[in-house]
Amino acid sequence: MKLSQNRISPEELSGLMRSSQEGDSSSYRKLLEESSEILRKALAVRIYDSNDREDVLQEILIAIHLSKHTFLPTKSFLPWLSSIAKYKIVDYIRRKERLKKREIIQSNEYLSKKEYSDFEEDIKERIEEILDKLSEKQRLIIRLLKLERLSIAETAKVMSMSPSAVKVAAHRIYKIIRIQPGGKL
């Protein structure tokens, strides 16, 4: 994320940060004010909701405060600030996506109990059809790996096979399943 500033030079910002690290509270206040101005401009381009934009700005300012000790006095302040801002924006986007998914799930009409029961029966029948096309050994391998969620090593031990033999067998089973119409477990 590229940050640009108008009122103060990058060198002055770095100087304010160095002074802040040494305990100068007026430099720290000035640094946060200048950083806020710079960040508001950058966030306006990426976050359209003004409330969200202010929330992200506050998160960035908190992150600056919490990680102030990690700033290297010999380095420039803007790239350091940019890194923090980038990660907070990514966190915001992820959070928004999770909320969107949750809203979609909550807004969907749920199946009635009968519809769900019928759906569940159809799935069980389809799985049984697919499993019937496999040998007993293949059925056991797929049940251990997919239904009981055992690892390759655990399945190999149960089946008295080497882990690589289990992998090869599983690969062949997946191939058989994929050939079946709609055959996905």
pLDDT tens-digit series, residues 123-171: 778 877 877 888 889 988 988 888 888 999 999 998 999 999 999 999 9
Residue 33, both tokens: 């004010």
| Longest pairwise C-alpha distance within the chain | 77
- Taking the CA of residue 105 as centre, how many other CA atoms within 13 Å lie in the half-sphere pointing to its CB? 6
The pLDDT value recorded for residue 183 is 47
Q: How far apart are CA 39 and CA 47, in angstroms?
A: 11
The pLDDT value recorded for residue 157 is 92
Q: What is the pLDDT confidence band of residue 97, given thresholds at 50, 70 and 90?
A: confident
Q: What is the mean pLDDT of the chain?
A: 84
- The position carrying tokens 């002055």 is 12
What is the residue type of 129?
E
Please indicate whether residue 45 or residue 105 has the higher confidence score (pLDDT): 45
Which of these ranges, 64-73, 83-92, 120-129, has the smallest mean pLDDT? 120-129
